[in-house]
Amino acid sequence: MEPIAIPLGGPREERADAARNRAHLIEVARAMVDELGADKVTMDGLAERAGLGKGTVFRRFGTRAGIFFALLDVEETAFQERILNGPPPLGPGAPAVERLVAFGHARMEFLIERTALARAALDPAQPIPVSASPSLFHVQVLLREACPDVPGIRALALQLTAALEGPLLLYLRAPDGAAPATMPRDLAAGWKTLVERVCG
């Protein structure tokens, strides 16, 4: 059974004008992030740059973190397309353990390249529900296939997902915002060892 893509953004059906505003705001927000950096993007600044009222921006995103959540959602959708329909081992067609290792490596690369965006999408005023991780369901499905006799697959999937994503978002960044040069290689090796021992 293949995981389904998890929608992270706005409602599935929008009025035409609301959809246009959303697309325009996301395009402008992306340009501002590229130009100024995520830490310089504000709700007021986005409204002014987009030529829309502040109320429109607040209704669309709710909070400043919501801007980055929407930007990340666009990229998450493309990432999930690779998982669902891309070539193996990330996509279908490889053994579950190989897919799980490949997923971890691809996910690390994805988050390392987008750490500032992903961290800005976290709203400190809001709890983060376990189900919010787009990785959790995929890890759980692959674990169930790779090691069906291991009890507590959901809890194990949660622990692996936290080990995969948590350090990238919260800890492993230098003060200047750059990832240590050895981090991708070291984390990739650690993830492979962890998966193979869990499923061995």
Taking only the tens place, the pLDDT of each residue in 107-160 is 988 988 888 888 888 887 776 665 667 899 999 999 999 998 888 999 999 999
CB atoms within 10 A of CB 23: 12
Per-residue pLDDT reduced to its tens digit, 27-54: 999 999 999 999 999 999 999 999 999 9
CA 58 and chain centroid, separation: 22
Tokens 């502040």 label which residue? 54
* DSSP single-letter state for residue 127: -
Neighbours of 174 (CB within 10 A): 10
**Stated pTM of the model:** 0.79
Distance, CA of 81 to CA of 115 (rounded, Å)? 20
